[in-house]
């Protein structure tokens, strides 16, 4: 019953935010890099975040204290991102607030002192530096990959489902139903966008889950669950760096954007991401030992790279 209530709350909140955004002209204005052609209200991701944290507070007795407080560290990001959706702020200010939230989250998690990765076990204080960089990148790349209808919302739903099925965490279903209410309005053709308040906040929330438990290949599972996003964003960043482009400048060179430019619809790409991620959730669920995990990870990397190769052949990176 809780999850249905969160779904209903998310729908009502998204509808209300869309009405306010239209009335106050809080709009995403299309430009030459956009994947849409008309001005669209933004900030709908706030409905996801509010609904999600209602569930977090209602289930707090079933959540470890350090995870609970680490998740709350998203609040500065929510505030600065909401302001940025209304009136754009400097990238340096946003980066500072993101960094502050990440440092607070790492403190709440008691730091990252060991990581089990594949057959390796890493230890040392320096892992906190690696965790900080990874959390900062995931927070921001989720924003970069929120560029077409339903895409970022679909990723949130499958990641939430993975959190529930693979980690037995009820917050996974909280995230699924909180996002479904928003996705009702964001599926192609969308009537509202998630905005930075949704994408940056979700990226941070997933980063917290990634480093909450770094044992038994858990990070590897999260790398699979989020592979379409982090691999596309990272490969694109490296290619732009190689081309000596200004990395802070907006662009439309991610694989999913180039597929849209080649004629594939938002709905097809978002639906494919759902199917792709569900396939790997099923593999992880039924083949749940470490040896199988390594093979599933390798298969995942190969298939994502083939997708990037397909996007390159369809619409070349320029």
Q: Which of 256, 281, 282 is nearest to 270 (CA)?
A: 256
pLDDT along the chain (318 residues), means of 10: 95 97 86 74 96 96 94 98 94 96 97 82 91 97 93 97 96 98 94 96 98 90 96 94 84 91 93 97 89 92 96 85
| Tokens linked to 195 | 């905005």
Q: State which H helix or E strand residue 28 sits in.
A: strand 27-28
Phi, psi of 125 (to 5 degrees): -65, -25
- The DSSP line for 91-115 is HHHHHHHHHHHHHHHHHHTT---EE
| Tokens linked to 100 | 């502050």
Q: Which of 104, 13, 7, 105 is nearest to 55 (CA)?
A: 7
Residues 6 or more apart in contact with residue 62 via CB below 8 angstroms: 170
Q: Which of 76, 71, 75, 77 is nearest to 109 (CA)?
A: 71
Residues 6 or more apart in contact with residue 165 via CB below 8 angstroms: 172, 281, 285
Q: Quote the pLDDT of residue 316.
A: 82
Q: Quote the pLDDT of residue 188.
A: 86
| Tokens linked to 112 | 């990252």
Contact yes or no for 146/152 (Cβ under 8 A): yes
DSSP designation for 123: E
Strands (E), 62-156: 114-117, 120-123
Exposure on the CB side of residue 238, measured as CA atoms within 13 A: 6
Q: What is the rounded distance in angstroms from the CA atom of residue 45 to the CA atom of residue 178?
A: 10
| Tokens linked to 171 | 């917050």
pTM more than 0.85 = yes
Give the domain ranges of the chain. Answer: 2-314
Q: Quote the pLDDT of residue 202.
A: 98
Q: Please return the burial class of 295, using the count of CB atoms within 10 Å of its CB with bins 0-12, 13-18 and 19+.
A: exposed
Letter string b/e over residues 260-270, b meaning 16 or more CB atoms within 10 A of that residue's CB:
beeebebeebb
Q: Quote the pLDDT of residue 34.
A: 65
Q: Please return the burial class of 205, using the count of CB atoms within 10 Å of its CB with bins 0-12, 13-18 and 19+.
A: buried
């Amino acid at each position: 019953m809780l999850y249905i209530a969160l779904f209903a709350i998310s729908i009502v909140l998204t509808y209300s935010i869309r009405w306010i955004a239209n009335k106050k002209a809080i709009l995403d204005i299309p430009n030459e890099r956009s994947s849409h052609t008309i001005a669209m209200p933004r900030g709908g991701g706030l409905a996801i975040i509010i609904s999600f944290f209602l569930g977090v507070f209602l289930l707090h007795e079933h959540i470890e204290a350090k995870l609970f407080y680490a998740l709350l560290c998203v609040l500065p990001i929510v505030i600065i991102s909401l302001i940025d959706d209304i009136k754009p702020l400097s990238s340096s200010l946003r980066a500072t607030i993101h960094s502050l939230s990440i440092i607070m989250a790492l403190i709440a998690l008691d730091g990252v002192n060991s990581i089990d990765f594949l057959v390796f076990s890493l230890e040392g204080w320096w892992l906190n530096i690696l965790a900080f960089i990874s959390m900062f990148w995931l927070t921001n790349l989720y924003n970069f990959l929120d560029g077409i209808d339903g895409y970022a919302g679909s990723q949130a739903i499958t990641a939430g489902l993975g959190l529930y099925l693979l980690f037995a965490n009820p917050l996974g279903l909280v995230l699924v139903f909180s996002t479904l209410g928003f996705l009702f309005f964001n599926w192609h053709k969308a009537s509202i966008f998630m905005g930075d308040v949704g994408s940056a906040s979700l990226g941070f929330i997933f980063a917290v889950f990634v480093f909450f438990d770094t044992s038994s290949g858990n990070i590897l599972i999260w790398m699979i669950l989020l592979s379409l996003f982090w691999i596309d964003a990272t490969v694109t960043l490296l290619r732009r760096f190689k081309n000596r482009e200004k990395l802070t400048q907006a662009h439309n060179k991610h694989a999913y954007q180039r597929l849209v430019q080649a004629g594939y619809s938002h709905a097809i790409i978002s639906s494919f991401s759902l199917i792709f991620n569900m396939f790997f959730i099923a593999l992880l669920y039924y083949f749940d030992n470490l040896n199988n995990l390594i093979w599933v990870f390798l298969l995942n990397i190969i298939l994502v790279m083939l997708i990037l190769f397909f996007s390159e052949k369809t619409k070349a990176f320029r």
